[in-house]
Chain A
Amino acid sequence: MKCGKCKDKAVINMRQHNIGLCKMHFLAWIPEQTQRFIDKYSMFSTSDKILVAVSGGKDSLALWDILSLLGYKADGLYIGLGIDGDVNYAIESLYYCQRFAKEHNLNLITVDIEEEHGISIPQIAKKIQRGKDKPCSICGITKRHTMNRIAREQNYDVLATGHNLDDEAATLFGNTLHWQAQYLRRQNPVLAASESGLARKVKPLFRFYEREMAAYALLRGISYIYEECPFSAGAKSLFHKQLLNQLEYEQPGAKLQFYLTFLNAKETGIFTPSKQKPAELNICKSCGQPTSAPELCSFCRIFDSMQK
């Protein structure tokens, strides 16, 4: 296959765009497109201070790389969750983030949950009923809470995550299967900051396929953790991704269309406003972060119960 721009040998075939690109043009195309999406969805500007949530995986490190290439002021935030899974997952994922930060002379903020709270995420999952033997739900709560806390405490204008199109389409698919209207209404590449203290959140890679992000990381020489989170085996989102990829194989562009037409449908008013009154956000009495609960937020409820 030849590059659609220069006729050199292509290194990637993007069937949804009906184009293949060589290494040079693909490495130029990804940041160009990212900039286009940042502008189109008014995500942030070069004067904004950006906090990129990094996990040591391909997507978040690729995002950090792209934003730095584009000239944005972007610091990284790594949250140590204490997940080991006999593969040194936490140690390795931190290693790749530190290595990337050092090689690119970027600032990495590290938060270690066990150091701060005396207990790791898998240990909490074992102690309480939530999530049975899997800590995914507690892990999600902890990450969201910590990202928001750091963004607020250190005055970041925006929090950027490395979610790609496959992540977004799988989430949409799962929410649609169960008609989770409240989640469908909220799913967006940009979530505005709230007066109650939720930081602005953006997903600049949301139009790229996961495969393209892996190719970008590989071609840019970004070292990332190849091992999966040991708790991700059997996750529904992975199954949904597989299903969508089967569809994509038969109908190139199906994943992209699924998500983009959803965004468009929302724009044109497919969802009527909820009849339920939007949950009023309160201030958590322990940490001061916004919460829909009347007293303590989910994070503080979990961690406070560990002290007892």
Chain B
Amino acid sequence: MKKKPFSAKIILRKEVFEIRAGMDLRSALQKLEIPSQSVLATCNGVLITDDEIIKPNDVIQLIAVISGG
């Protein structure tokens, strides 16, 4: 798949989502229907908050935080 210009990636476990850069993480998670309370996000190994504006070529790794059974 050809990479779209100005896009970024969000990775959760084995899933990779391509999203448009320029929006904040909160909106991106909402768009992907990922509850923001259920994940932490890191970019380049640094924990980021959900008001962070996603830049082109960012690779955002999500860490699922909900456990138990």
Is the pairing of A and B real?
A: yes
Chain A residues packing against B (C-beta within 8 Å): 1, 10-13, 20, 23, 57-59, 136, 166-167, 170, 209-211, 213-215, 218-219, 226, 228-229, 231-233, 235, 237-238, 241-242, 245-246, 248-249
Partner pick for B68 among A11, A170, A226, A246, CB 8 A cutoff: A170
B49–A11 touching, CB < 8 Å:
yes
Could you tell me the distance in whole angstroms from the C-beta of B58 to the nearest C-beta in chain A? Answer: 16
Chain B residues packing against A (C-beta within 8 Å): 35-40, 42, 46-52, 63-69
Q: Please indicate the chain B residues that have their CB under 8 angstroms from the CB of A248 in the complex.
A: 37
Known: A218-B40, A218-B63. A249 touches B35 (CB 8 A): yes
The docked-state distance in angstroms from the alpha carbon of A209 to that of B40 is 12
Q: Please indicate the chain A residues that have their CB under 8 angstroms from the CB of B36 in the complex.
A: 249
The docked-state distance in angstroms from the alpha carbon of A20 to that of B66 is 21
B40–A211 touching, CB < 8 Å:
yes
How many cross-chain pairs have Cβ atoms below 8 Å apart between A and B?
A: 77
Could you tell me the distance in whole angstroms from the C-beta of B41 to the nearest C-beta in chain A? Answer: 10
Q: Please indicate the chain A residues that have their CB under 8 angstroms from the CB of B39 in the complex.
A: 211
- Chosen A-B contacts, 11 in total, with CB atoms closer than 8 Å, are A11-B46, A11-B47, A12-B40, A12-B47, A13-B49, A210-B66, A214-B40, A214-B63, A218-B63, A242-B38, A245-B37
The docked-state distance in angstroms from the alpha carbon of A242 to that of B52 is 24
Instruction: Please name 12 further chain A to chain B contacts, defined as beta carbons within 8 Å, in addition to the given A13-B51, A213-B65, A249-B37, sorted by A numbering.
Output: A1-B52, A11-B46, A11-B48, A12-B49, A58-B67, A170-B68, A211-B39, A226-B63, A226-B64, A238-B69, A245-B37, A249-B36
